[in-house]
Chains A and B, each alone.
Chain A
Amino acid sequence: SAVISQKPSRDICQRGTSLTIQCQVDSQVTMMFWYRQQPGQSLTLIATANQGSEATYESGFVIDKFPISRPNLTFSTLTVSNMSPEDSSIYLCSVEDDAGRAFFGQGTRLTVV
């Protein structure tokens, strides 16, 4: 199984600012995934990040709001831009192994005030 380190684990941010979340994996992976979990809700996929190409965003998520970088096969960042209180959520990164099992980081709890 993959070990995923995600940071920060939590942050409180002012509205209008941006936060970049980092995700580091202990092995090389082709795809990394970013999810949002709003308070009391399930996980919703934001985007899929491949190394060397632009991320693929799901319906309702756009690159200007959630820019993603994927500079190599073990690392990715998600930025939450121009934040508003509605962006308060847990953000999780994930990778999948060859058997289709997903492994998750510890999550970043973001509160926008």
Chain B
Amino acid sequence: AQTVTQSQPEMSVQEAETVTLSCTYDTSESNYYLFWYKQPPSRQMILVIRQEAYKQQNATENRFSVNFQKAAKSFSLKISDSQLGDTAMYFCAFSTTSGTYKYIFGTGTRLKVLA
């Protein structure tokens, strides 16, 4: 069975600084997707970034980038130039690439960006 672990329940960062959120996972699959989702107080789940396991290159989306270490089963999210609007819960998620794309979510990290 797949598992996703986020070991940091809460984090804070000063505006304009950089923060890294950690995620580890466990799977016996060789190909899969990894995601980071953001859930602000509005409750809307928003896709931040996606990584395909067969790609060695780390995904990047503007100020968001990942450090994907497949052998270590690690998938961290780096937020650069943090903004107040980045304040939210961040969930790491895993999905297989076969069958029903069933998602497994981590327990989340609450990030607070301080002015």
Which A residues lie at the B interface, using CB under 8 A?
A: 31, 33, 41-45, 48, 90, 92, 94, 96, 99-104, 106-107, 109
Which residues of A sit under 8 angstroms from B75, Cβ to Cβ? Answer: none
Assembled-state Cα–Cα distance A72/B33 (Å): 28
CA distance A102 to B93 in the complex (A): 10
Residue-wise, chain B 15-47 has the 8 Å CB interface mask toward A (1 for contact) of: 000000000000000000101010000111101
A48 neighbours in B (Cβ, 8 Å): 100, 102
Q: Report B69-80 CB contacts with A as 1/0, cut-off 8 Å.
A: 000000000000
| Cβ of B105 under 8 Å from chain A | yes
Residue in chain B with minimal CB distance to A56: B100
A46 to B114, CA, bound (A): 36
| Per-position binary interface string of chain B over residues 84-109, scored 1 when its CB falls under 8 Å from any chain A CB and 0 otherwise | 00000001010101001111011110
Partner of A104, one of B44, B50, B97, B106: B44
Over the window 33-65 of chain B, the binary record of Cβ atoms lying under 8 Å from chain A Cβ atoms (1 yes, 0 no) is 101010000111101001000000000000000
Residues on B with beta carbons closer than 8 Å to the beta carbon of A41 = 107
Return 24 A-B CB contacts under 8 Å, by A number.
Answer: A33-B103, A42-B105, A42-B108, A43-B91, A43-B103, A43-B105, A44-B105, A48-B100, A48-B102, A90-B43, A94-B103, A96-B101, A99-B50, A100-B101, A101-B35, A101-B50, A102-B37, A103-B47, A104-B45, A106-B43, A106-B44, A107-B43, A107-B44, A107-B45
Cβ of B36 to closest chain A Cβ, rounded Å = 12
Number of B residues, CB within 8 Å of A: 21
Complex Cα spacing A17 to B100, Å: 32
